Amino acid sequence: MKNDSLKKIANTIRGLSMDAIQKANSGHPGLPMGMADVAAVLFSEYLNFNPKNPQWFDRDRFVLSGGHGSMLLYSLLHLYGYDLSMDDIKEFRQWHSKTPGHPEIKDTPGVETTTGPLGQGIANAVGMAMAESILAGKYNTAEEVVNHFTYSMLGDGDLQEGVSHEACALAGHHKLGKLIAFYDSNAITIDGSTELSFTDNTRMRFEAYHWQVLEINGHNYDEIRLAIKEAKAETNKPTLIITKTIIGFGSPNKQGTHNVHGSPLGKDEIVLTKEALGIPQKDFYVSEEVYQLTHKVASQGSSKEEEWNNKLKAYKAADAAKYEEFTAVMENKLPKIEYPFFEAGTKMATRSASGKVLNAIAPQIPALIGGSADLTPSNNTRAESQTAYSPENRGGNYIHYGIREFGMGAIINGMALHGGVVPYAGTFFVFSDYMRSSIRMAALMGLRVIYVFTHDSIGLGEDGPTHQPVEHLASLRAIPNLTNLRPMDANETSVAWKLALENTKGPSTLILTRQGLETVARDGEKVAYCTEAAKGGYVLTEDKGFDLILIASGSEVEIALHAKRLLNENNRKVRVVSMMSTELFDTQTEAYRNQVLPSNITRRIAIEAASPMSWYKYVGLKGEIVGLERFGASAPIDILYENFGITAENVAAIARKMYVFHHEE
């Protein structure tokens, strides 16, 4: 495209961004105005996309890591033919609009990931590029059915955030040559000049990560073009293109300052800016010429997709079975999976059970990609059939993330967003804090990612309070749309994996023990039990005429069962409820919940070696909770449970008091 045409497109993006932000009376004009030139070149000349089918599998991905610059993305999507009208642009930041404050995948066609928390977008992009390389390694033949680039724009803020270090280091290590990032180097953040807090040598940093680094004037079309060409030509390294830009480009009084970062320019300054840029003094103005230019680019999308469809036909003709697998994977469809069932009586940590489940299911699920943040032998996350992903083994299905929990969380989000892979990743439960924001983003986006969190309580013993989670269950249960699964034995672990894999609407955690737990004998059929367990909370065992309910999750179910035996000795009649997942239990019908926790039974004790916060709503005002309201300690497991009172004897003692003080019902 001619440079002159690109300039018209870029200035249109500037105009739309200024106007939408002014109308909403909030938003961030600096980034869209600064990066408009780079965006115009990328979208007009390089990005492969089909706005008629934003989900076309082999499209290039574009990730705006600095989500505050959302008006850049919305302007692009509108101009380049996506289903985003001018009315939508005018509704920027309004209730139920398709143009929310920060880009959200569920609201706007063409948005590849929800961004806003700085640093995570670029890490998502790393995950996307990694997924692309895995699928290319696994499925490409003479027909390269997976062959696309991942582009990202990031700013000073993204680079300052630690998660970008974690993810970009791994991207360089794995030689992700099809990842191309533009660094909007404008030397401005909210507080002012980057001189205040950011004097890293970004070039040297990325070179040290084994990236190719280029540096250009981000307002010079020839330089932008050349840099993208060079980036695409380097297939062995990701590329960072440092684009020197002026924040708020075009605004005579505000460009280059932090005043243009995050507030509307103001009506008068918009007039001056439009004058300076040579665009008409009209609100939300797009010339016919600009629409023609961008729509022409957009119209090429269908033929690009058509070309790919032809490739796919040839692929099918060459190997129908491989084609079947590839299409199922692309559609994120799981095959029918056989899950293992464990015989009662053996003692096994749920982390070990999880490892055994993985050994059984991993060979059955082509899309499954495992990994751990350097705790593979402790998390039991690597199945025997899995091989390590590397530049030499792109088809590998196990990723050694290194000690980079947050990076890992944001990378698996990118993988799930890319599609074609079902990622799971492990670390110690206590370090779920390190990746918490990425878990939150997975929940917000509704991504199927699975966390394998082992060493789930003081039950891990001697490593002490630094490694013993206390508040983590309560804290994760507070995240909407996250399903937490804390199985009580090997069989519940098997069910938990099934639930996590079948949950396509959001992330799931498997919260697993280090210590061995008895595999409990079940009354009735295996299938019936699995159906029960899948309800999140269910009656594990009970005495006829029970008048006390013990509710527990994970390793504490064993304590509940023991307490029941003790109480039975006093002729007390007890029901034990295993609550693997409060979230799943809460979604059951009221009738079912009342059946499990009948309202007339007010003697209730919840037992969980963790903060009691989650349990008040289940035990009611007359109930008790045996939990932990302090940090743990370094000692053998039995000593810890004993000293913190998380024992069957203590539960039984509390129950006995209840019989004395509660009126018999």
Ligand X SMILES: Cc1ncc(C[n+]2csc(CCOP(=O)(O)OP(=O)(O)O)c2C)c(N)n1
Which residues are known to be catalytic?
405
Distance between CA atoms of residues 302 and 397, nearest Å? 32
Binds ligand X by CB under 6 A, chosen from 143, 156, 405, 624: 156
Edge-first strand order for the sheet with 508-511 is: 398-400, 368-372, 422-428, 450-454, 508-511, 483-485
Comparing CB distances to ligand X, the nearer of 108 and 189 is 189
- Of 116-124, 267-275, 414-422, 487-495: span binding ligand X (CB under 6 A): 116-124
Binds ligand X by CB under 6 A, chosen from 33, 41, 63, 118: 118
- Site size toward ligand X (CB under 6 A) is 20
Edge-first strand order for the sheet with 212-217 is: 61-64, 150-155, 179-185, 239-244, 212-217
Task: Give the CB-nearest residue to ligand X.
Answer: 155
Query: What's the closest the beta carbon of residue 370 comes to ligand X, in angstroms?
Result: 28
Query: What's the closest the beta carbon of residue 211 comes to ligand X, in angstroms?
Result: 19
Comparing CB distances to ligand X, the nearer of 54 and 262 is 262
Instruction: Give the footprint of ligand X on residues 40-79 (CB under 6 A).
Output: 66, 68
Binding mask 302-341 toward ligand X (x if CB under 6 A, else -) reads: ----------------------------------------
Comparing CB distances to ligand X, the nearer of 247 and 648 is 247
Distance between CA atoms of residues 537 and 534, nearest Å? 8
Distance between CA atoms of residues 487 and 490, nearest Å? 8
Q: Which residues contact 560 (CB under 8 A, 6 or more apart)?
A: 550, 551, 552, 576, 607, 648, 651
Q: Check residue 45 and report its DSSP letter.
A: I
Per CB under 6 A, 423 contacts ligand X: no
Comparing CB distances to ligand X, the nearer of 30 and 414 is 30
Binds ligand X by CB under 6 A, chosen from 88, 91, 184, 547: 184
Do residues 438 and 444 lie in contact, with contact meaning Cβ atoms separated by under 8 Å? no
Comparing CB distances to ligand X, the nearer of 161 and 556 is 161
94-108 burial code (b ≥16 CB/10 A, e <16): eeebbbbbbbbbeeb
Rg, the chain, Cα only: 28
The pair phi, psi for residue 421, each rounded to 5°, is -135, 150
Joined tokens for residue 522? 């079940």
Distance between CA atoms of residues 323 and 148, nearest Å? 19
Binds ligand X by CB under 6 A, chosen from 188, 270, 290, 293: 188
Give the 3-state secondary structure of residue 652.
Answer: helix
Per CB under 6 A, 30 contacts ligand X: yes
Distance between CA atoms of residues 272 and 287, nearest Å? 19
Query: What's the closest the beta carbon of residue 120 comes to ligand X, in angstroms?
Result: 8
Comparing CB distances to ligand X, the nearer of 114 and 454 is 114
Do residues 105 and 419 lie in contact, with contact meaning Cβ atoms separated by under 8 Å? no
Per CB under 6 A, 117 contacts ligand X: yes
Query: What's the closest the beta carbon of residue 257 comes to ligand X, in angstroms?
Result: 10
Binds ligand X by CB under 6 A, chosen from 50, 99, 164, 189: 189
Per CB under 6 A, 155 contacts ligand X: yes
Joined tokens for residue 190? 């909210």
Joined tokens for residue 186? 């404008």
- Of 49-57, 155-163, 213-221, 645-653: span binding ligand X (CB under 6 A): 155-163
Per CB under 6 A, 256 contacts ligand X: no
Per CB under 6 A, 247 contacts ligand X: yes
Binding mask 424-463 toward ligand X (x if CB under 6 A, else -) reads: ----------------------------------------
Comparing CB distances to ligand X, the nearer of 160 and 541 is 160
Distance between CA atoms of residues 562 and 391, nearest Å? 52
450 bridge partner residues: 424, 508
Per CB under 6 A, 196 contacts ligand X: no
Comparing CB distances to ligand X, the nearer of 197 and 643 is 197
- Residues found near ligand X in the complex (CB under 6 A): 28, 30-31, 66, 68, 116-118, 155-158, 161, 184, 186, 188-190, 247, 261
